[in-house]
């Protein structure tokens, strides 16, 4: 019967994976430097267990030349501030429209300054932006 056996060991400065042939005296060695880990709310033994678990996984991944998705690949796309903000309701837009228009018509603010100010707290629809821009044309 032909086969392989892998044995992982942990030393102070590195972790080692030794793969032995069942028949013959062949052996392959993989090593990985040890890293410190301090998870919040965990006891030292839990941190050591996490280190060993991850190092064991990484050694086998290196041995088998497996490419896996990492946290960056599997993370959700980062949302911009505007995507996280709620849409400005038509009611709220209408209740503030007169004062915003006065600021534009008096020359105290530009249409872009008003849009930028509003979008710090809520997203505007394209229709709302067009209306604000029309105030600057009067």
Among 22, 54, 74, the domain boundary falls at 74
Same domain, 13 and 70: yes
Same domain, 86 and 66: no
Same domain, 31 and 67: yes
Among 74, 96, 116, the domain boundary falls at 74
Q: pTM score > 0.75 for this model?
A: no
Res 33: pLDDT = 92
Range of the domain at 45: 4-74
Name beta bridge partners: 8: 17
Same domain, 63 and 9: yes
Among 55, 74, 93, the domain boundary falls at 74
Q: What are the tens digits of pLDDT across the range 81-92?
A: 545 789 999 999
**DSSP readout, 94-117?**
HHHHHHHHHHHHTTSS-HHHHHHH
Q: Could you tell me which residues come within 8 angstroms of residue 36 by beta carbon, excluding any fewer than 6 positions away?
A: 51
Contact 107, 86 (CB under 8 A): no
Q: What are the tens digits of pLDDT across the range 20-67?
A: 998 888 999 999 998 887 888 888 899 889 889 989 998 998 888 887
């Amino acid at each position: 019967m032909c086969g392989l056996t892998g044995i992982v060991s942990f030393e102070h400065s590195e972790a080692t994976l030794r793969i032995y042939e069942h028949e013959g005296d062949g052996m392959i060695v993989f090593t990985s430097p040890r890293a410190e880990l301090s998870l919040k709310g965990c006891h030292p033994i839990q941190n050591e267990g996490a280190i060993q678990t991850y190092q064991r996984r990484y050694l086998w991944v290196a041995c088998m030349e497996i490419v896996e998705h990492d946290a960056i690949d599997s993370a959700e796309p980062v949302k911009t501030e505007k995507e996280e903000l709620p849409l400005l309701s038509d009611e709220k837009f209408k209740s503030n429209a007169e004062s915003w228009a006065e600021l534009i018509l008096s020359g105290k603010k530009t249409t872009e300054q008003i849009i930028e100010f509003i979008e710090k707290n809520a997203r505007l629809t394209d229709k709302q932006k067009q209306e604000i821009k029309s105030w600057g044309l009067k």
